[in-house]
Structure 1
Amino acid sequence: MIFKKGELFNGPGGLSLAAKNAQVIHPKTGEEFRIEHLWSNDYDATACETFRLNICENPDDPSVHWGPVEDLPIGDKSILGDIDCFAFGFPCNDYSIVGESRGLEGKFGPLYSYGVKVLKDYQPKFFVAENVGGLQSANEGKAFIQILTELEDCGYKLTPHLYKFQEYGVPQARHRIIIVGIRNDLTEQGIEFKVPAPTTLASTDYKTASEAILNPPIPEDAPNHDMPKHTAKVKEMLSYIPPGSNAWYPGIPEHLQLKVKGARMSSIYKRLDPDRPAYTVTGSGGGGTHMYHWDELRALTNRERARLQTFPDDFVFAGSKEAVRKQIGMAVPPLGAQVVFEAILKSFAGIEYDYVEPAPKLQLENLRGKKKVTIKEVVANII
């Protein structure tokens, strides 16, 4: 069974690479269950170029539509063909705890509604939506409830869960909400998605940042592996920061300390701890936010960041260094998302797999059954 996939906000292709690599073969019938790209959209030109190069393997592939999602002819199946499944990592800018967290009131917050439109117009068999953990608390919890309600009203049984990707083999402490929806008529036929169990239970067994970057060594001529340049002062400051610490480490001499008033971000000149998963890879920020090597006096290369995001070395990112950094930081780790897609395919194939109960303690149907439910109560029990 082949599922043709549409996607909004495709970025460089983290979700699509995961879907592409997720293949399941039924042990008895030999039937193959897999996902194929049909069309996608993103407003970032370099991300679209990266997607075409790696997912479509054709730099001129017309199935990747560059431009604002508002201009996409959703529902016109002569342009955007019919699909069996849908993915959208809707923009997280307004839901992230880094920033103003404007939620639905921000510029990007309402863009999830275009995913809702796709679900209404195409009614795919299943969908996967991804966003930051901050989605649960945006607008005092109202945003998450509204998004879940609208998705459910499209005719889907939802399984939202906060995935801690370090528990799924990703060498990075990255926590993201993934919502899986299975069309109601299919769940009535017995197709049920369950949250796949973590592949790594003990924190001592998590893949570390140093293991990801050093094993195997990155070839010197690998794409997107240009070494960063720093001033002598930055290098000297880094020499006083031990692995796992940042620019606020008390052992830094006074003449090298940063003069910052107000909030001090923990990621500023933070060096990786080689014996732990990396802290969250980000796609934006000025000097001091580029992630720093635990041993060498420098920031990571984009290739090293890509490894922390589980992109293979032959995955080529298009654009300038900063454009590439943005793409990598905004992407979904393919290895983590692949576990989710494989669980979906196994659900359709009727293959059992290890699972855990989803993180939300209160489902929408339970909330509707209560006469009085405060937003505070909702937020406290969702995740």
Structure 2
Amino acid sequence: MKFLKGELFNGPGGLSLGAKNAGFVHPETGEEWKIEHLWSNDYDSNACKTFGLNICGDENDESVHVGPVENLPIGDKSILGDIDCFAFGFPCNDYSNVGEKKGLEGTFGPLYSYGVKVLKLYQPKFFVAENVGGLQSANEGNAFIKILTELEEAGYNLTPHLYKFEEYGIPQARHRIIIVGIRNDLYEKGIKFKVPAPTTLASTDYKTSRDAILEPPIPEDAPNHEMPKHTKKVQEMLSYIPAGENAWYLGIPEELRLNVKGARLSSIYKRLDPNRPAYTVTGSGGGGTHMYHWSENRALTNRERARLQTFPDDFVFLGSKEAVRKQIGMAVPPEGAKIVFNAILKTFAGIEVRVK
């Protein structure tokens, strides 16, 4: 049983890798259940090359359409073939709790509507949509209600849930809203998705940043593993910051402290706590926001950040170091996505899923 997938805002391929790695052989029928990529789109050319290389086997694969979603010929099945399922991690910039939270009034906020357009024109059996937790509160909660209403009106029964990925074996405190939609006619026939139960209930059993980065050790020749360079002052300042603390730690000598007025972001020069999941990996690239090793006086490499996002070491990100850092931070953790897609496939296959 094969589901062909279309995707908007594909990024480097976190959702798609999760979908690709999901699947199973039905224990009773022997039938293989899986999801295969058919087409996708993103405006970021570096992300599209990364996606093409790792998901399709060719960085210039023609099924990955580069450019603004506004220019994509949605509905033209001679270009974008017919699909059985659909995924879209619509841009979160205007919904994030870090930033101006313009929501639907922002540049990126309304782009979810192209996902709704795909659903109306293709009517896939199911879809998966992903965004930041801040979506719930954007525009005083009205944005979330509007988006859910339009997805329902496209013909789907919805199961929105705020997934706390550290509860699912991901070595990172990453909280994201994932909306699973089952087409109404299939829902009425008994295909009713339920949120899969967390795999790790006790916080003492969460996978830690140390587990992710050190076990097993990252090969020296792993891609995207170039060591960052810092000024002597930054290295000296980091030497005074304990694990889990940041640039505002009181033990930093006055001459090494940052001269910042106003709001002080907690993530600035923040070291990981090796005994806990990492704080959220982001795509931002400003000074001091690159995530910092708990004991070495440096930022993480992109490969270490990719490990926190559960990308395998042979997943190659293309582009400059800054472009790669952005791709990694904006991605959905593949291992988290895999859990959701597996739960959907099992629902369709009539296999019981342990639910929340």
TM-score by length of 2: 1.00
- Return the offset for 1:156: 0.4
Checking the alignment, whether the CA contact within 8 Å between 2:285 and 2:325 is kept in structure 1 is no
- Answer yes or no: is 1:36 the counterpart of 2:36: yes
Aligned to 1:332: 332
Opposite residue 126 of structure 1, the aligned amino acid is F
Aligned to 1:252: 252
- Answer yes or no: is 1:193 the counterpart of 2:213: no
Aligned to 2:279: 279
Residues 354-376 of structure 1 show CA distances to partners (whole Å, capped at 9, x for unaligned) of 101xxxxxxxxxxxxxxxxxxxx
Structure 2 CA distance for aligned equivalents of residues 322 and 169 of structure 1: 27
Residues 191-216 of structure 1 show CA distances to partners (whole Å, capped at 9, x for unaligned) of 11010000101000000001100000
- Return the offset for 1:108: 0.1
Checking the alignment, whether the CA contact within 8 Å between 2:285 and 2:322 is kept in structure 1 is no
- After TM superposition, list the pairs within 5 Å mapping 1:363-378 onto structure 2: none
Aligned to 2:99: 99
The CA RMSD measured in Å over matched residues stands at 0.5
Aligned to 2:67: 67
Q: Secondary structure at the match of 1:35?
A: strand
Structure 1 CA distance for aligned equivalents of residues 112 and 212 of structure 2: 33
Aligned to 2:162: 162
Structure 2 CA distance for aligned equivalents of residues 216 and 285 of structure 1: 27
**Which stretches of structure 1, 4 residues or longer, exceed 3 Å deviation after superposition?**
none
- After TM superposition, list the pairs within 5 Å mapping 1:99-178 onto structure 2: 99-178=99-178
- After TM superposition, list the pairs within 5 Å mapping 1:195-234 onto structure 2: 195-234=195-234
Opposite residue 42 of structure 2, the aligned amino acid is D
Aligned to 1:364: none
- Return the offset for 1:221: 0.8
Residues 32-57 of structure 1 show CA distances to partners (whole Å, capped at 9, x for unaligned) of 11100000000000000000000001
Q: Secondary structure at the match of 2:273?
A: coil
- Answer yes or no: is 1:316 the counterpart of 2:351: no
Aligned to 1:365: none
Aligned to 1:4: 4
- Return the offset for 1:59: 2.2
Structure 2 CA distance for aligned equivalents of residues 189 and 32 of structure 1: 22
- Return the offset for 1:285: 3.4
Residues 155-208 of structure 1 show CA distances to partners (whole Å, capped at 9, x for unaligned) of 100000000000111000000000000000001111110100001010000000
Checking the alignment, whether the CA contact within 8 Å between 2:48 and 2:59 is kept in structure 1 is no
Structure 2 CA distance for aligned equivalents of residues 83 and 219 of structure 1: 38
Structure 1 CA distance for aligned equivalents of residues 267 and 344 of structure 2: 35
Structure 2 CA distance for aligned equivalents of residues 206 and 43 of structure 1: 35
Structure 2 CA distance for aligned equivalents of residues 7 and 78 of structure 1: 16
Residues 5-62 of structure 1 show CA distances to partners (whole Å, capped at 9, x for unaligned) of 0000000000000000001221111111110000000000000000000000112210
Residues 71-99 of structure 1 show CA distances to partners (whole Å, capped at 9, x for unaligned) of 00000000000000000000000000111
- Return the offset for 1:131: 0.0
Structure 1 CA distance for aligned equivalents of residues 98 and 163 of structure 2: 19
How many residue pairs match? The answer is: 356
Gaps of 5+ in 1: 357-383
- Return the offset for 1:268: 0.2
Structure 1 CA distance for aligned equivalents of residues 342 and 229 of structure 2: 41
Q: Secondary structure at the match of 1:300?
A: coil
Aligned to 2:267: 267
Which segment is superposed worse, 92-101 or 19-28? 19-28
Structure 1 CA distance for aligned equivalents of residues 17 and 261 of structure 2: 42
Calculate percent identity across the aligned residue pairs. Answer: 83
Q: Secondary structure at the match of 1:195?
A: coil
